[in-house]
Structure 1
Amino acid sequence: MSQSICNAAKAFRAPDLRETIRAEALALGFDVCRFASVEAPWPASDRLRTFVQKGRHGTMGWMEETLERRVHPRAMWEGARSAIVLGVNYGPDADPLEALKDRGRGVISVYAQGDDYHDVVKKRLKQLGRWLAQGAGCELKVFVDTAPLMEKPLAQSAGLGWQGKHTNLVSREFGSWLFLGSILTTLELEPDAPERDRCGSCRACLDACPTGAFPAPYQLDARACLSYLTIEHAGPWPVRYREAAGNRIYGCDDCLAVCPWNKFAQAGRELKLQARDALRGPRLEDLAGLDDPSFRELFAKGPVKRIGRDRFVRNVLYAIGNSGDPALAAAAERLLEDPAPVVRGAAAWALSRLAPERFTAAAASRLEREDDPDVRAEWLRAAA
């Protein structure tokens, strides 16, 4: 038996196994570790079912396909007996809403300015899982939010926080800035006390949403959410949401950033998740010039890369159209010939807003050559 396994085995003879696990989790870089039962279904599963039935998941078909696997924690794995729920603080070192004031620069959501948290958190979950399996002789499975496990209700059950009116987790210690990870295990671990809802009458997050994506407290219509539109939605955006996006080009932090519980939060200490300088308010003009290789280089190791260059540049062009700066019209005009239809259409929209006379001059010839119906619709709508 290796020395590391011997040490782990000794540690697991400690009186309180939960405290042994918690200490190891904190040593690995997690900021909080608590425990939950997996016996009862979550009340939140009813909200999820309503969300899908009303079509509020938009084009995220996987949510409908995995709905039944999300209604109960043991639906993911029948052998699970307890859940270890962990959080990593990614709180920003400044108010992210300040960046919205400079319309010539793009705003990328706080969580996406560093390395991809899926990779960072999953690596630590696997480290903790190996240590636990060796020391306790148990079976386990690890999850970040790419699996159909409802981690936010599980986190509330474990006492990490509660699902706020913006549907995200809120913590008394970390505000709205926690990445979550979970381990389901065959160990029988005493659960921690759940957290109760502490939103009270506050509706700051609901009122802050630039597109009105919350039909009611605790309800989200993803089809109107800028995080969905900038990341999950593949085609042209509905016109009614474009101006409201301002210069947000990947995600939206408004509902998180205004939460009053953030006043107790501290900036995240994890270096890999901290913002890279190149992603703190990059110039829209520079981003509009990205080709596929330069896009991949800029966003290497980060989550933005998964949406691809075309969808990202589409977002940048909507922000350019909202900039109010005629000097950026040239960047939009150059992309009227882009190979990607979604980019050409967004370029036409942006040019029509910044330089109507140049748009009008180009419209006739462009329409003659354009064979994509969505792009043609952009030209015709803007010219009307």
Structure 2
Amino acid sequence: MFNLKNINYLKLIYLFLFILSLFEIYNVAASTNNNTWFLVLLFKTNIIYLLYSVIFIVGYILLFTKMGQKVSNNPKFSILLLVLLIILSVTLNYLGNIPSIDQNIDYDDALEIWINHLFSFQYPYDALTQLGQRITPFPSLPLYSIPFYLLGNVAYQDFINLFIILFVIWKFSDNILQRNFGLISLSISTPFLICLLSHSYHITLASFTALGLYLLFKNRFIWGSVIFGLLTASVGYIWFTIPTVIYYIFKKGTSQNFKKSLFIIILIPLIIVLPFIIWNPDIFFHFAPLAAVSGRLSAFKYFDVIVALALAIISLISYKKTNNLFFSVFIGYLIFELILPLRSMFLLALSAILLGVYMDKLKIDTNKISDQSQSD
């Protein structure tokens, strides 16, 4: 009979990330049309698949073979991975400023245009990006970007995002294998690398989602609720996770924790979003950001609402069946990506990394309990 206890969850998730990353490479190769030489070299040929496969195999050897673990079990190896990730993030962030890349992507520009309009006392959602697109993030994301805008580039927030992710992986892991798995998986995650290169604000959303999940796992319900309250006022694809988060707090926390957390999750988005609705409800509801988000799911009337409710229900059911918050978030975004690809690829990848670490923690704890019961 198939025994779930024998599953190596870290290997399984590592393979999933490989497949997900190949899919991301394929989509970038199919969609990129700029003339930057290294992008043409990598994404318009099969070289990238060969290079990535070699990197994946090296990572597998370091994580899951006795020969590789002689190297990776050294604590200095984890420090080396941290340094390499920081260097990689700085390099990709810098390359993202190359005009042929920057002018074809408007994530950071959308935030800067939003802030420019706000500082000029103009309605931010009345503006268009240089690609002629509406600005779709809800207010908490551009408001969070203001300090980095004042420093000269909103993309600088990606450095803070990286440190948040590294903090979560480091603190969440119980042993060096889990830690190295998280760091190597992050290093080979092409959705993460593409986010850095494109100055995408989706990395901000993924990093704060990871932080919120970690805080809830550590029973820091109030701070976790603050994070998810801010996320609710950032982008629409966070919303279907909120019912599960609220139910998790209800099950794990006290009645007082639940009441405070529910109040926070409701109050923070109202405080942030309501002024912009009052300022110009016509643009907010019919053009951006709400209409722009809904327009991506406009196969028929109310299809966007149906999809959001369905994903929320699936996430809730998966939590009730498994009692696993990380799995419920992962399965929700996996289905979301199947319905609407390329919207939350890095969030899916990061939730998979956290799920792998969590499942390995559970497996170790279960084995300890089993060994103790046998010795008794």
Structure number with higher strand proportion:
1
Same fold by TM-score greater than 0.5: no
Say which one has the larger Rg: 1
Q: TM-score, normalised by structure 2?
A: 0.22
Structure number with higher helix proportion:
2
